[in-house]
Structure 1
């Protein structure tokens, strides 16, 4: 009875692990969860106040599919101020989270047997979106010591006549690595004289550490601007995961038009109250709140780093952004699902198996939790690894 395309989708492993951890907590188990990729900070007060004000003013009506002008203008201002990007209001669309932005772009760009290049390890939803559209994910694995970032040579070798899209994520989930401007320029040079669209997922843009700079792919040059869809949102940097606010910006007028039509026939506009709430998160009024979170995440990263460096037989890339460690356990166990299930059963620590990110023999932890829980949970992991058999 179900369509074939609906049956190719796999459940998100991150949500599956988080749900299992919640079930154990509900039974009274002392579970520490490093699974969910969401800030543990409350949404900044100025954002909540903007939402309350919108409700009180009766702003709960339908809006234009792309969003209200005030929110689109705030996105336009943000992209110019933070990234040096000039987009017209008509080139910007608000979506139900950046996941929605990515999904709709894939649906409008990819057809049966089209190839989509995805650096591995990857965010769990990327290949599922491609498969749902009938496309074929083409994975490229970089070197662990370089944060698995792909090189221009690897990209060149992966491109075929069927290549339609390149998906980039910087800062990355699950690695936390950030492409330098020079690395991005090398990739952009390979793409010249092709029709390949770049979907640049920049969700963790403002969560960067050690003064490492961020470069938006579309800002590299005119060619990059024309071929890139800049995708971002407020789930991570704005501590608004449940508000479901994402957006996309593109110079590809045909794509923007197609996405608007698809959204108009599916969700219509995103939540009107969320649109009003997003404005202070975009126009700079929340910059200090974001910086406070960033500093807290960097401190947590450093605490986790100090503990992890003392655990034998594991390796990892020091995160430059986001709030994850992606840990290599191949010297201990190559089956990441087996390892993570035993860890949850025996030590009551929930982490995400690397197989979900396309890399078995690894697991991901999120340090978007308190310093005490980071210390306690990592000590349990260290004990578990010491006695693993």
Structure 2
């Protein structure tokens, strides 16, 4: 059977592919350390689980409004007031089945064939694929390693054409962990306002920041920037709720209405009990979020020096998220491999350590390591990688 053209252009997710290969080796009895996971290794806090169970016991098991429960919208609005000191109305909030689906719905509502979306590299693997699925064209601008992988206002200005519809901003970033300062955001925002380009601000890692860094949302910098921005966020990373699939968008009411109409014909509504769990996540606090953040920071600080001590490996120290994104191009040359992808594959086969090649993120000289795993496993993984590099150095 002939499939639709839209799926023939898709690139398989590199993160899911490496995870599947690692799982296959584990099932064969191998001692595999997987550093590809994009999710916290903590369970969801108990108070959130209890709230979801309680909602089911109380009979809240039916459909909800397509854009989410009114009480959940209120909780999200409260979160924005507390964290960013900005105000939204219920009509400016859409709750979806995870931040990924919210982004998908946004691009479906926003793009016509040929519309361009500017995407900084390195990028999260799904951004360009979602743009292409909406018949749009991804336009890439390179975030240089020398600038902590961040793009500049000058780069953004040069990339804008009459077809540019949106600019994707991800801070803290997956895969690099880099964060934009308020001044940098303001400069990027001024360019978008000047050219009437919608800012899509993915802030899913907002709560996971380190070294005394402070997350700034571009939407909080001015009322004009708030009007120019759709903020996308969720509880997957901040509250270790990846499987609950709750994300949300906040911004222009007309765009949110269009997204809601689309959602009504695709998902009907986000899972009901997960919405009640999210209400608890945003209205109660038992300290779990901060405990998890501190654990990630300790892991980062504990293994960073060991990583950059590996021959041929350099790394910009991340300020957020839970990924390291080292440049391994010199190690690959030392080991006689033609590219990072084959080097990563050899490490998995020989040392049973699963890394994600940077090619899937638009950065072919790098690899992504998740430190959302135990410190002992991280240390062992880096020991194995170093052994591989030294054994294969020619």
- TM-score band, normalised by shorter chain: over 0.9
CA distance in 2, matches of 1:110, 1:170: 23
Equivalent of residue 372 in structure 1, options 353, 360, 376: 376
Deviations, residues 80-130 of structure 1 (Å, cap 9, x unaligned): 101112000111011111001111111111111111100100000000011
The residue that corresponds to 2:220 in the other structure is 219
CA pair 70-55 structure 1, distance change in 2 beyond 3 A: same
Instruction: Show CA shifts across 1:123-152 (max 9, x none).
Output: 000000111111111111122132210011
Where 1:230 maps in the other structure, the secondary structure is strand
Match of 2:391 in 1: 387
1:346 aligns with 2:350: yes
Per-residue CA deviations over 1:28-79 (Å, capped at 9, x if unaligned) read 1000000011000010000000011011011010000011111111001001
The answer for the alignment partner of 2:42 in structure 1 is 41
Structure 1 Cα separation of the partners of residues 97 and 392 of structure 2: 42
Give the whole-Å Cα distance in 2 for the aligned partners of 1:386 and 1:240.
39
Please state whether the residue corresponding to 1:203 is helix, strand or coil.
coil
Q: How do 1:88-237 residues align onto structure 2 when only pairs under 5 Å count?
A: 88-237=89-238
Aligned position for 1:298 = 297
Matched residues in 1 for 2:72 and 2:163: separation? 37
Within 2, Cα distance between the matches of 1:385 and 1:176? 25
Alpha-carbon distance between aligned partners in 2 of 1:193 and 1:376, rounded to the nearest angstrom: 50
Does residue 1:32 correspond to 2:36, yes or no?
Answer: no
**TM-fit CA distance, 1:26:** 1.3
Task: Tell which deviates more after alignment, 186-195 or 232-241.
Answer: 186-195
So what's the TM-score if we normalise by structure 1?
0.98
Structure 2 distance, partners of 1:171, 1:253, is 26
1:307 equivalenced with 2:295 (yes/no): no
TM-superposed CA distance for 1:286, in Å, is 2.7
Counterpart residue number, 2:10: 9
Tell me which residue corresponds to 1:288: 287
Does the 8 Å contact 1:67/1:269 carry over to 2? yes
Counterpart in the other structure of 1:256: 256
CA distance in 2, matches of 1:135, 1:90: 26
Q: Once superposed, which parts of structure 1, at least 4 consecutive aligned residues long, lie more than 3 Å away?
A: none
Q: Is the 8 A contact 2:91 2:257 kept in 1?
A: no
How does 1:238-277 map onto structure 2 within 5 Å?
238-250=239-251, 252-277=252-277
The match for 2:62 is: 61
Deviation at 1:388, TM superposition (A): 2.7
Q: For 2:331 and 2:309, locate their aligned partners in 1 and report how far apart those are by CA, in whole Å.
A: 15
Cα-to-partner distance string for 1:299-339 (whole Å, 9 max, x where unaligned): 00011202112112111110100000111111132612111
- Measured in 1, the distance between the counterparts of 2:58 and 2:259 equals 30
Determine if contact 1:235/1:243 at 8 Å carries over to the other structure.
yes
Distance 2:146 2:303 in 1: 18
Match of 2:81 in 1: 80
SS of residue matched to 2:106:
helix
Aligned length: 387
Give the gaps of 5 or more residues in structure 1: none
Between the aligned partners of 1:176 and 1:193, the Cα distance in structure 2 is: 28
Give the Cα–Cα distance (whole angstroms) in 2 for the partners of residues 287 and 21 of structure 1: 35
2:108 and 2:196 mapped to 1: Cα distance?
17
How far apart are residue 287 of structure 1 and its match?
5.9
| Partner of residue 359, structure 1 | 363
DSSP-derived class of the 1:167 partner: strand
**After the TM superposition, which of the residue ranges 236-245 and 185-194 deviates more from structure 2?**
185-194
- Distance (whole Å) between structure 1 residues aligned to residue 59 and residue 94 of structure 2: 23
Secondary structure at the aligned position of 1:62 is classed as coil
What is the CA–CA distance in structure 2 between the aligned matches of 1:388 and 1:322, rounded to whole Å?
31
Q: Which residue of 1 aligns with 2:335?
A: none
